[in-house]
Every structure is written in structure tokens, then in C-alpha cells.
Amino acid sequence: MFGVLNRFIGHLDGEPVQQPRATTNDNAFGFQVLRNKDPELPLEPWFDFIVGINGRLIDYPDPNLFATEVRNCAGSNVTFEVWSAKGQKTHTVSIPISPSNPTLGLALQLAPLSSTQHIWHVLNIPSPLSPAYRAGLLPHSDYIIGTPSGTLRGESALGELVEDHLDRTLVLWVYNSEFDVVREVELVPTRGWGGEGALGAELGYGALHRLPVGLGEEVEGPGEVVFETRADGTSTPVLDPMNPTQGQGVGPGATAGGHFLVPANMTTPPPLASQAPRSLSGSPAPGPSPAARRGKTRQYAVSPNRAFDEYFAEGEQKSKEQDYAPSRKGTPLPPPPKGIRSPPPPPSSGSPAPATE
């Protein structure tokens, strides 16, 4: 057994290690949108990175090749794969390119995707006297994403910046997830406000404090939505476009082997059994004789709640047996068996006892 295990381990050591392909690791990069002059383009400065163009990932950071590819699409559309720091998701954007002026009106900068991870989440502001409260920072929904004073890199970068601006005005770029806006906040860090720290706020940093998905995007996890309800009350299954066979077997017209889920709010439930055929005269066809009905086994339709019905029926039967069990209260005792004399009654008080022979 140990020899087989050693050969198996040796076989694994000889295979090349396959690295999983990821687009959000520390080595991934893209063209970060710094400015957008065209309000019609659905690209957000600082948050959006162009990581692919026309179905190909940008694996060679040459801005000239990128501009040439855009000019080649003059008179048609150029397709970008855009990675957003809001929710760390990738989506596709199609932009028409004018044949007379094949430009985008964007200011781009090649940057790693991990540059958007250096943010600080405002968790709590304990006192209204703190500099953070006076500056208008909001707990839970505000994220400090940068400053015009310089680039912030690392967890200690914000603390060092605050120490350099003690008792001086500090400008921060703050993103609010509830209103989906970025604003400039001016505050004066100080240690004499009566509490701990120069900001007077509890901040979070790291993987648990990334930017959430924007308000315009729906957050839908796998399996959250199974049926959509129409106005008439009927339910329509929501299908996955990546799995075309998912819809097979769902609904009243599907085969018996595909009934995985049955909607509970349908207007009329699907028929459980076929109706009796009618004769040509319009009257129902005569049923089988009572003898045939007694000798014929009863057929039940296949129901998804069959197990529950049987379970409740069994409990109801037991309850009836206990409720309607015959009681022995008021029933006279059976007579004694013949051949056995009953003992004489005890003598009453005042009467002489019988003499013994």
C-alpha cells in the first residue's frame, strides 16, 4: 500500500502546476479611466478599468496598440471588457466610434487593479465632537478612496497622512455607497477634541471592506430567484442563460421526470388525474360496477406532496383511534365462572356468630 502511495505522490510531483486564471489578482492590470469628457459613455472615472478590447484581454501594456485598435473600429462599434471596483465585477460595454473623429474622449492610465484596494471604510464615529463628525463623514456608507495630496498605498498610509496634517486642513475623496457619489471632505485632524485618535472615527481596511456593488446594479446570488410572479398570479421560472436545459421539466407541460419545483401561487393547479371521458350524447360515460370497483386497486395520481399527505393521514387516523376508543366506564363486570361458590357475606354487627360443629 505504501509503495502505491509513493508512486502516486511521485506522479503528482512530476506534473506541471497549473495556475488558475484570475483577473483580480495583484498582477492584473488595465487602463484606468481618469477622466470622461463624454457623459454618454457608461464609464466611471477611478472605478472602471478597461481590461479587454474586442474580445481579447489586454496582455501587452502598449497605449499605442490600444489607440490603433480603437481607430480601426471607426464607423462601427468597439467592445470593451470593463472591470469595476464596485463589487469587483466585469461587464461588457459597446461604444460607437465616429468615422470622422475616431476618439473616445477618455483620459486613461495603465494601473494595476489592486490600486483600488487601498480604501478605508468608516465603521463608526463615537462622538459628535470628533473631527470626522464635524466634517460630515457618515458611518457604514462612507469609504475614503484617496486624497489630492498624494497616492495612498498600504494600511498605514492614511494614518501617516493624518499625522502630517495635524491641526491643518486635509482634503479626502470619499465615496458614499448609499447615494453612489464621490465628494470632497475637508477636515482638520487634531488630538485635542476630547477622544482617541486624530480623526475620531473607527476605520476598516482589507478584504472585508471592499467597495460594494453600485445602486444601479442588481445583486442576485445563485438560486435566490426561482419564479417570477405575473400580474395575474401565475409564476414563470427564471432560467439561467448559461444552462439551456434548465427549463426542461419545469411547468405543467413538462414530463413526469422533470418536476423538480412546483410553484405555490399558481392560479389553477395542474390536473392530478385525467377526467372521465364523456359519451357522444353529452352525458358522462357509465362507470364500472360496484363489484369491479371493489376488486380493482385504487390508483393515485403522482403528487409532489404525497409523502406529506400520507404522514398527516397517518397522524389523523391515530388521533381518531384515540378519541373514539370505547370506554369501560359504566359497563357491568362479567359474571363469575360457574362451579365456584362465592364467599358468604360477613356477619353484621349485633347478630350471634354461627356455632361451629
d(CA 213, CA 256): 41
Instruction: Give the up-direction half-sphere exposure of residue 87: CA atoms within 13 A in the CB hemisphere.
Output: 15
- The phi and psi torsions of 279 (rounded to 5 degrees) equal -80, 175
3-state SS, residue 10: helix
Cell of 52: 479587454
Of 69, 66, 71, nearest to 98 (Cα)? 71
Task: Note the pTM of the prediction, 2 decimals.
Answer: 0.55
Query: pLDDT digit of tens for each residue in the chain (357 aa)?
Result: 555 555 655 555 554 444 334 445 567 899 999 999 998 899 999 999 999 999 999 988 788 999 999 999 999 999 999 999 999 999 999 999 999 988 899 999 999 999 999 999 999 999 999 999 999 999 999 999 999 988 899 999 999 999 999 999 999 999 999 999 999 999 999 999 999 999 999 999 999 999 998 766 555 555 554 444 444 444 444 444 344 444 444 444 444 443 333 333 433 344 444 444 444 444 444 555 555 454 444 454 445 566 667 777 888 887 777 766 555 555 565 665 555 555 566 665 555 555 544
Which secondary-structure segment (H or E) carries 76?
A: none
Per CATH, the homologous superfamily of domain 29-115 is: PDZ domain (2.30.42.10)
Cell of 60: 501587452
Contact status, residue 27 vs residue 15, Cβ threshold 8 Å: no
- The segment(s) of the chain belonging to CATH 2.30.42.10 are 29-115, 118-209
d(CA 65, CA 62): 6
Per CATH, the homologous superfamily of domain 118-209 is: PDZ domain (2.30.42.10)
